Copies of this chain bind each other. A is one copy, B any other.
């Protein structure tokens, strides 16, 4: 025991010396090799204890954070040496490279979460606790974003390509695990928010346990992705597929990285446009684990055609006229469209708040209004056409209905005025809604 303590005392002294150097302004990068030597001799379990002792001796939490960074980086280098190779293969801005880069950040933050949670347990000083809690809040707040950036991009943009090729099981398992992690991090947020509601010891024990679990799950997911999922999609997806993915990534956002433009000279290929059959080369290029899993069960390629003969290409999908009519009828809003020449061109069918009949088609809008209010309709349209107004809203009570009316000018991609849309809806039902009703509450 004494030996162990002495040993730790020695390591601590070494770390302290290094931290002093940082404190004195020496570049962290230059100290990396030295840190590496010291840290590699310390077990991960010891680190929080040592850090805690350093804190007691007056080293600030911020300086320790810098040490954490180095520690995590070293850890990452040790465990994911192979990924570096994969990553260097890929051009900057390639979606797969971005995913690898994000995984570095996730790994680092998971480790930070672990370290700070453990440090918190051993911190007695109130001010220090507060400081560490602040850092933890920031880390957990960041990690929540992993779910709707990194994981969401995989689930929404990449999974469809492997599902088409019959590898739905991989997608489903990963998504399930993603959701577990999302839930764990959400739970940590709640614990932090409710920390005043329980005794400190109870909170800190629970938090450390849950933080360790979450950090483990995050790290585990990085391994799964880097070693199985990414090599799989690398073997399967063509450049056109990656290009289609790249075009849509920005909508979801990224975890702590900002990928460059990447625009190879190929046609973007959406999931419904690919040939989903696997050739021998692709099969042999798959990670062994995936090859193993595929043995003995025939792959079910999804070859369903998206576009039908009579479909209208709306840019964000293909529907036929029958479906379009049904969609407009099912909308919880009624619309009437007047074209650039101020003539009624279309109204949505079905039961409406304000009755519209076919006779109105082609009618100039200034003839469709009570003469008394026509001048206002004309003024609104003028303001729309001149770009002075972006919308005009009105609301009136009509018996049990609370009718909300919205006028919006429409423009094409070149900014040319296309016409104006009138939208009417009964908002009375929405005013009565309280609380929440979630998908999982559904019963029939």
Contact = CB atoms under 8 A, between A and B. Distances in A.
Interface stretch (A55-63, A155-163, A210-218): A155-163
B245 A418 contact: no
- Oligomer copy total: 2
Interface stretch (A79-87, A127-135, A137-145, A368-376): A368-376
Contact of A437 (B395, B442, B444): B395
Contact of A330 (B156, B373, B392, B408): B408
B437 A394 contact: yes
A358 interface: yes
Contacts of A393: 437
A290 interface: no
Interface in A422-441: 423, 425, 427, 430-431, 433, 435-441
Contacts of A418: 322-323, 326
B436 A330 contact: no
A236 interface: no
Interface in A383-417: 383, 388-389, 392-397, 402, 404, 406, 408, 410-412
Interface stretch (A39-47, A291-299, A306-314): A306-314
Given A163-B367, A376-B440, A444-B379, A345 B361 contact: no
Nearest to A373: B439
Q: Report whether over half of chain A's contact residues are helix, strand or loop; otherwise say mixed.
A: mixed
A272 B325 CA distance: 21
Nearest to A349: B316
A43 B252 CA distance: 82
A329 to B, nearest CB: 8
B439 A358 contact: no
B362 A316 contact: no
A288 to B, nearest CB: 25
B359 A248 contact: yes
B430 A404 contact: yes
A331 interface: yes
Interface stretch (A67-75, A112-120, A199-207, A334-342): A334-342
Contact of A317 (B326, B333, B345, B377): B345
A59 to B, nearest CB: 38
A419 B339 CA distance: 30
A430 B429 CA distance: 10
A280 interface: no
A345 B306 contact: yes
A433 B427 contact: yes
Given A248-B358, A348-B316, A444-B383, A160 B363 contact: yes
**Which of A159, A318, A355, A406 gathers most chain B CB within 10 Å?**
A355
Given A304-B341, A315-B321, A323-B419, 11 more contacts: A157-B357, A245-B359, A248-B359, A252-B357, A304-B362, A316-B358, A329-B410, A333-B333, A389-B444, A395-B433, A404-B430
7 contacts: A160-B359, A322-B418, A326-B421, A327-B346, A327-B410, A393-B437, A394-B441
- Closest 9 pairs (CB-CB, A-B): A317-B346, A272-B362, A326-B410, A248-B357, A427-B430, A306-B362, A330-B408, A176-B371, A316-B349
